[in-house]
Amino acid sequence: MRIPLSAIEEFSFNRPPAYKQELLNAGHRVANELEIEAAICATIHVHFPPDGSSDGGRPPDPSLSELALNFLTATARWAKAGFPLRTEAETSQILTICRGSADGLQPACPEWLGDALIPRCRRCGCTALKPWLVTEKCPMQKW
Ligand code: SF4
């Protein structure tokens, strides 16, 4: 995958300096972009989380660039694994963990932005599509 160097600058602003250096060392530059293996990029991204001291320890919401990168990384990981999908029952079970149950007996995850224009997880930005992909998991280990 390729990431614009400008996006790396944006991702770096609230992360340790080593984050940017690790990314640059792990890939190679092609014009104004960094070419890097999606899995390596994702690992470095997770290894250096943004500072999260502004809201009781909660990390700041991902920026649009981060959401786009998360999406690209997830798609690349899924493609590399051969496009495996969860069953409808498995996906439905996961969506209940995120969105809560229709009968209200199981509350929605506090990270689920159900009222957003595009309902999604605040942590990773995933929509109701991500649980279909076998290669994806909850950033808070709930599934
Ligand atoms: S943190 Fe996990 S369980 Fe909660 S909304 Fe995000 S993906 Fe779903």
Judgement on whether residues 70 and 128 belong to the same structural domain of the protein: yes
Q: What residue ranges in 23-131 does DSSP mark as E strands?
A: 28-30, 33-35, 112-113, 120-121
Percent of the chain's residues with pLDDT above 90: 25
Number of structural domains the chain divides into: 2
| Residue 116 Cβ contacting ligand 1 at under 6 Å | no
Query: Residue 89: inside a domain, yes or no?
Result: yes
Judgement on whether residues 40 and 69 belong to the same structural domain of the protein: no
Which range has the worst mean pLDDT, 15-29, 51-65, 76-90, 127-141?
A: 51-65
Q: Which domain holds residue 32?
A: 2-47
Span from the CA of 129 to the centroid of ligand 1 (angstroms)? 12
Ligand 1 atom closest to 131 (CA): 7
Instruction: Classify the C-alpha dihedral 10-15-20-23 as positive or negative.
Output: negative
Query: Residue 142: inside a domain, yes or no?
Result: no
Query: Residue 57: inside a domain, yes or no?
Result: no
Q: How confident is the model at residue 135 (pLDDT cuts 50, 70, 90)?
A: very high
Judgement on whether residues 35 and 91 belong to the same structural domain of the protein: no
Query: Residue 141: inside a domain, yes or no?
Result: no
Judgement on whether residues 36 and 83 belong to the same structural domain of the protein: no
Judgement on whether residues 79 and 117 belong to the same structural domain of the protein: yes
Q: Is the pTM of this model over 0.95?
A: no
| Residue 140 Cβ contacting ligand 1 at under 6 Å | yes
Q: Which residues lie across from 29 on neighbouring strands?
A: 34
Judgement on whether residues 72 and 100 belong to the same structural domain of the protein: yes
Taking only the tens place, the pLDDT of each residue in 53-101 is 444 455 566 666 677 777 888 888 888 888 899 999 999 999 999 999 9
Ligand 1 atom closest to 130 (CA): 7
